């Protein structure tokens, strides 16, 4: 039997430096002074992201040698200063930086843990657009997350599995690594001939010369850094356009091809079904990267094209593609709201089962509700799980989906699906918070829902069910 992706695993470790979090919480993007903050003000990941500016576009040029595992790269970030800046940070972990320029003028820089601290020759004015170029190289290593999983640039036997939720973007490019700051991306990735580099969005072109192939990918829609990928391997490629005009690009490791084929065949039907429930598919491109990376243990909803560490089952395909609406198009402003991603994607799986001849969402809910009060499911509430170590735990996925089911029961199917579609339409390409979702649900249904959702999202222990 196939190993389940780790998104179904329960996180157990709890080693978040709470004192550090409290300390840095005060130094968020609104901190006074003219130096950019080292974090985006998220207590779950205090050093992720930075304050003082907003990235508009990342232009990443990467050359990866799959034998030596060395990366040679240049990142060009186009950004806008939110206030006067004499200094600002980027997130980058490991790797050697050889040069930094700001608007073509050499800048001084130093490394401080995961912070790349840049001092431009001339201070940036509030509202100024500027361009940062970072030249760097080295052997990327993934980060170990508080839940014990690794993420970021994860070497595989024929390339790299690149999946960066929640904090791994900094292992392969200098980033403002928090979902608050979304940007468009260009990827120019050069790999040994015979390997394929698959990133987000649309493949603009590829050319082979002197034993190397360069792939140029572009994602024009706003994307959080953790959703970027440049996964490399020996892949079989399949391309087609759906009836809705979505360009599909599937890359499949030959060792997973037989198991993946019947599931990937369903992708157009799954996207079509999800579009009917959640609103129009948010992107022009879609697809799958099915790698063979047994050391990874999870799949990720990389924007436009989820990446799987092995052939996915149908539920996982439904889940990762549901994230294109919930998480990718409508993004988090804080990691504590993670149930807006995982609860929704899990509920999409229940709905898919219900509408394709399987058990009803109510039956799925009942089976979970029957678990004793001592079960992991009730260990903590999903609306603010408490730390980065808990964001991918069972309460977030399963109890988060249960909260949505309770909402559906309270407002009825018609209003429930109107709420979901209003949510994806109103926050398309942007952000959403739990508070905004609750208000929208009340507004669309005309019912008071704060108590119910508060119970399911924020109250410790097993809630009473109506």
Residue 181 near which of Zn ion, ligand ARG, none (CB within 5-8 Å, type-dependent): none
Helix residue spans in 283-384 (DSSP H): 314-322, 339-355, 361-369
Residue 337, interface with ligand ARG (CB under 6 A)? no
Nearest to 118 by CA among 128, 108, 105: 108
Residue 291, interface with ligand ARG (CB under 6 A)? no
We find the least distance from the C-beta atom of residue 146 to ligand ARG, in angstroms, to be 9
Binding part of the chain for ligand ARG, among 58-66, 86-94, 146-154, 243-251 by CB under 6 A, reads 146-154
Residue 145 near which of ligand ARG, Zn ion, none (CB within 5-8 Å, type-dependent): ligand ARG
Q: Are 281 and 266 in contact (CB under 8 A)?
A: no
Residue 408, interface with ligand ARG (CB under 6 A)? no
Residue 195, interface with ligand ARG (CB under 6 A)? no
Using CA atoms, how far apart are residues 155 and 417, in angstroms rounded to an integer? 41
Q: Are 419 and 411 in contact (CB under 8 A)?
A: yes
Using CA atoms, how far apart are residues 238 and 387, in angstroms rounded to an integer? 40
Residue 298 near which of Zn ion, ligand ARG, none (CB within 5-8 Å, type-dependent): ligand ARG
Binding part of the chain for Zn ion, among 177-185, 284-292, 339-347, 445-453 by CB under 5 A, reads 339-347
Of 42, 89, 91, 145, which lies in the binding site for ligand ARG, with binding defined by CB under 6 A?
145
Instruction: Tell me the β-bridge partners of 290.
Output: 252, 308
Residue 165 vs 186, nearer CB to ligand ARG: 165
Judged by CB under 6 A, the number of residues near ligand ARG is 14
Can you spell out the DSSP letters for 202-214?
Answer: EEEEEEEETTEEE
We find the least distance from the C-beta atom of residue 297 to ligand ARG, in angstroms, to be 8
Using CA atoms, how far apart are residues 181 and 179, in angstroms rounded to an integer? 5
Three-class HEC string of 256-292: HHHHHHHHHCCHHHHHHHHHHHHCCCCCCEEEEEECC
We find the least distance from the C-beta atom of residue 82 to ligand ARG, in angstroms, to be 29
We find the least distance from the C-beta atom of residue 327 to ligand ARG, in angstroms, to be 7
Of 40, 199, 322, 345, which lies in the binding site for Zn ion, with binding defined by CB under 5 A?
345
Residue 149 vs 230, nearer CB to ligand ARG: 149
- Residue 421's alpha-carbon distances to 118, 174, 330, 397, in angstroms, are 42, 35, 12, 21
Residue 73 near which of ligand ARG, Zn ion, none (CB within 5-8 Å, type-dependent): none
Rg (CA), the chain: 22
Question: DSSP letter at 94?
Answer: S
Residues in contact with ligand ARG by the rule CB under 6 A: 6-7, 145, 147, 149, 151, 165, 298-301, 320, 342, 392
């Amino acid at each position: 039997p196939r190993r389940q992706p780790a998104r179904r695993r329960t996180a157990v470790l709890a080693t978040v430096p709470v004192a550090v979090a409290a300390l840095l919480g005060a130094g968020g993007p609104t901190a006074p002074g003219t130096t950019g903050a080292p974090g985006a003000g998220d207590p779950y990941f205090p050093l992720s992201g930075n304050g003082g500016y907003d990235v508009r576009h990342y232009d990443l040029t990467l050359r990866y040698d799959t034998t030596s595992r060395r990366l040679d790269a240049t990142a060009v970030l186009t950004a806008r200063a939110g206030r006067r800046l004499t200094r600002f940070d980027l997130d980058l972990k490991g790797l050697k930086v050889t040069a930094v320029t700001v608007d073509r003028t050499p800048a001084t820089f130093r490394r401080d843990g995961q912070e790349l601290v840049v001092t431009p020759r001339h201070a940036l004015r509030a509202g100024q657009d500027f361009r940062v170029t970072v030249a760097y190289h080295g052997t990327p290593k993934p980060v170990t997350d508080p839940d014990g999983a690794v993420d970021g640039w994860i070497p595989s036997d024929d390339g790299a599995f690149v999946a960066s939720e929640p904090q791994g973007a900094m292992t392969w490019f200098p980033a403002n690594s928090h979902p608050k700051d979304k940007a468009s991306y260009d990827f120019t990735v050069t790999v040994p001939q015979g390997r394929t580099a698959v990133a987000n969005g649309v493949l603009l072109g590829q050319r082979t010369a002197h034993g190397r192939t360069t792939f140029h990918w572009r994602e024009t829609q706003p994307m959080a850094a953790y959703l970027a990928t440049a996964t490399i391997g020996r892949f079989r490629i399949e391309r087609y356009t759906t009836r809705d005009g979505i360009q599909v690009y599937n890359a499949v490791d030959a060792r997973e091809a037989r198991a993946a084929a019947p599931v990937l065949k369903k992708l157009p039907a799954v996207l079509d079904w999800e579009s009917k429930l959640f609103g129009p598919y948010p992107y022009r491109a879609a697809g799958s990267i099915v790698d063979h990376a047994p050391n990874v243990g999870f799949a990720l909803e990389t924007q436009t094209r989820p990446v799987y560490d092995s052939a996915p089952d149908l539920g996982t395909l439904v889940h990762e593609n549901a994230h294109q609406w919930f998480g990718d198009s409508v993004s988090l402003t804080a990691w504590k709201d993670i149930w807006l991603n995982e609860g929704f994607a899990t509920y999409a799986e229940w709905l898919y089962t219900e509408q394709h001849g399987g058990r009803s969402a109510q039956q799925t809910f009942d089976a979970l509700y029957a678990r004793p009060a001592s079960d992991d499911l009730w260990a903590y509430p999903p609306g603010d799980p408490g730390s980065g170590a808990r964001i991918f735990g069972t309460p977030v996925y399963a109890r988060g989906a249960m909260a949505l089911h309770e909402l559906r029961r309270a407002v009825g199917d018609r209003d429930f699906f109107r709420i979901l579609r209003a949510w994806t339409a109103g926050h398309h390409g942007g952000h959403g918070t739990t508070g905004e979702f609750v208000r929208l649900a009340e507004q669309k249904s005309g019912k008071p829902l704060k108590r119910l959702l508060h119970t399911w999202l924020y109250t410790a222990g097993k809630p009473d069910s109506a």
